[in-house]
Structure 1
Amino acid sequence: MTARRSTFTALVTLLTFAGILVAPQASAASLVEVTAFGDNPGGMRMHVYVPDSRPASPAMVVAMHGCGGSGPGFYSGSEFASLADRHGFIVIYPSAQQEAGFGKCFDTWSDAAKRRGGGSDPVSIVSMVTYAQQRYGGDPGRVFATGSSSGGMMTNEMLALYPDVFKAGAAFMGVPFGCFANAADYPPGASRCTGNGGANRTPQQWGDLVRQAYPGYTGTRPRMQLWHGTADTLVPYSLLREEIEQWTDVFGLSQTPTSTDTPRAGWNRSRYGDEVEAYSIQGAGHSLPSSGMAAAALEFFGITGTPDPDPPVPGTCSVKPTVNAWNNGLTASLAITNNGTATINMWSLAFTLASGQTITSGWNATYAPSTGQVTARNAGYNGTIPPGRSVDIGFQATHTGNAAAPSSFVLNSTACSTG
């Protein structure tokens, strides 16, 4: 193996001095950056994950991060790469470079970004897809888009602008295509789009924006899956309704779902024919996708079969609560330990507060609701718990005399021991 590496290194050096560009190769369990992937008006960075085991023409998934994130960060903090190892598809991770006042975000606001072939980030992303098709043999008939927050917004964007490129999309915490008027309208708090009621248009108005993005297009439209947490205040939950109105109108569907169900606790799904489905995640804030949601997106894309509606966390878990109480207040620290043999990714911990307790603030996780049965979801920096390791989270609460520790801990779908 050492001799082979030395030979390869020498060959790369020789070709470099000869002025020949050597395209990067993806290797086992590695994320590779591609620096010359084609037309790149958005000045974006591209990373790609290509599993060793894959068919001759694998599907391709473009997975896009939220504001302030990056492609490598979304690779580490989501389940798409591990699922790619299992199901043999390529994952493209773009990194946005547009400053939006609170970190780098995908451009969904400029005139260029709202016109097919107009420039900016959408053109760069299509170049990445073309590169992956040519370099790794990706199947041009099975290209999908997904993303979180800014990436969810760009998922709506790509499906509207390039319906001939993408077969389906899964947008987490996004907004309808064409929601933002311009760059000044983008930042939360100052935006008419994400402000309360500011994005209220008719289904036809939303649908017209999509149809105008690629005038004259008569081909098949990509199917759309939409996700939003009911407690999301950064990108308000009400925008899920606007997204549903946009895509059902594009497909000429009724605003009344053809079916509703709860495929997993807290996941309320509405289906509109075979083309659109929407998930309302009860109590979730701006924290999607969480465990199991990537698998549900892949099932919608048709890459995988129907996922286990309640996939178990590998191995076992334990939680050690420590409570410090005073008068009518307390703090509780929870040490979550992975006692199994496999890494836990994108975790959520459900537990029950004692009667009369109300959470007022927390750290190292998001908490919702504030009373009764609470779910704590990982922060962006602690979503992985390796075997034998722990994650410490906690919260401050008020109480009415009962300062008992929380109980009934369930990590994802596995009950945890206490102590």
Structure 2
Amino acid sequence: MSASAERSEAGFRLADPVGLDESHRMLREQVRRFVEKEIVPHADAWEREGKIPRALFRRMGDLGFLGMQHEEASGGTEMGAMASVIFGEELSRSGFGGVTSSVTVHTDMSACHITRVGTPEQKAKWLPDLISGRKVCAIGVTEAGAGSDVAGIRTRAVRDGDHWVINGTKMFITNAVYGDLLILAARTSGPETGARGLSLFIVPTDTPGFKVAAKLEKHGWLCSDTAELVFEDMRVPAQNMLGEENRGFYAIMRGFEHERLMIGSFCSGESSRALELTLDYVRTRRAFGKTLWEQQVVRQKLAELASRVALIRALTYQTAATLDAGRPASIETAMIKSVGPEILHDVVHGCLQLHGGTGYMRGTPIERMARDARILRIGGGATEVMLEEVAKRI
């Protein structure tokens, strides 16, 4: 077998970082097989339908994929940040950002708040169904006027006896249309308190007063459901407050740190898949009497892109190791979020360019991936905001 054919068969896969143990390697292989057999063959249909079947969550729950951020007492496996990075990277290699988004919002951005700050009673009530995939979770922080500026949240919760009455709206909420549970951020004191006046609540989506105002049509991530929500005199039991009153901002910030780490894994996985597809393409596509791979400018462009993928991947894995060691990594996660999506954008659009007209056609993986990649420069903190977060810390 030629070196070129051998490389194509192997795909673009960088060596695993030093320090991964056997459980990490087994997890990668298991998720990779799952993606190849149970996501990739079906996800085009999910894109057309605009939803992911509930059976996918249940199957992932059966395999233990939904419990890695949860403690063993609740049915989880407590595998830590490194396992989440591996999980996110392999999901992203599917090339379907919508699947990755919906699943990881459930596993790493919403349900994990219950494990971090929930009471024993809340954990016992909600986590078994979330870890098994019988229920799907969402996180409700963003509003039309409060995205990266969390302190600007206006959704208001007012205590009324043994309930909180909540009024307000949320925007761009993943899993809100077909999900079962929302971790909701609301203001529980006056607007003058800013970030110090926010609290979290566990809200079942069938609560009276909870309304999906609109299922939003997006540029990419077509199979993940995204919605605008409205809360009208929605009564939530007091025991559904998650964590301490007026301390929700700190839980949200901790969640953002993990979310930014996960976005690094998305950038690594999807970029790697884009390079793999493009390497296969340029080795067979001929122009001017030779393959594109034999054109020096093409080889060097791909070499540059591959090197940038290796950089964001290394930073992401190193940051995961730092967090698993119990050390702070807020500047590293901000760096990941500020540069990772920019690298991903450059990689997928550079790869689309090398596919020529074919890459611009709907139905080709690289075209879909280019659309899916765009949101990561906005969601979870726009690049410009994240650069300011880095600047404040240096």
TM-score normalised per structure 2:
0.27
Question: Computing the radius of gyration over CA atoms, which structure comes out larger, 1 or 2?
Answer: 1
Structure with the bigger RCO (C-alpha within 8 Å, sep 6+) is 2
- Which is richer in strand? 1
